[in-house]
Amino acid sequence: MYNFGEYDLVLRPGKLPICQLIFERVGMAPKGGLRSQWQGQSGVTT
């Protein structure tokens, strides 16, 4: 999820419904593999 707005968005369970979900078709694997700051994450952090 990404907030394109200029202000912070606080998400609270049960308080703010999500209104859009976008799926994209990928034609090939990314070059150089996938590197993400969340790679290896095993739970929710606060």
The per-residue pLDDT for 12 is 80
For residue 33, being part of any structural domain is answered with no
Distances from the Cα of 23 to the Cαs of 26, 31, 43, in angstroms? 10, 20, 24
The answer to the question of residue 45 being in a domain is no
According to the model, what pLDDT value does residue 46 have?
66
* Amino acid 14: pLDDT: 82
Query: Is residue 7 situated within a structural domain?
Result: yes
* 34 assigned to some structural domain: no
**Residue 3 maps to a domain:** yes
Question: What residue numbers bound the domain in which 1 lies?
Answer: 1-25
Q: What is the pLDDT of residues 1-46, one digit of tens each?
A: 777 788 887 878 888 777 777 788 888 877 777 777 777 788 876 6
**Does pTM surpass 0.95?**
no
Q: How many domains does the chain have?
A: 1
Nearest to 10 by CA among 1, 36, 39: 1
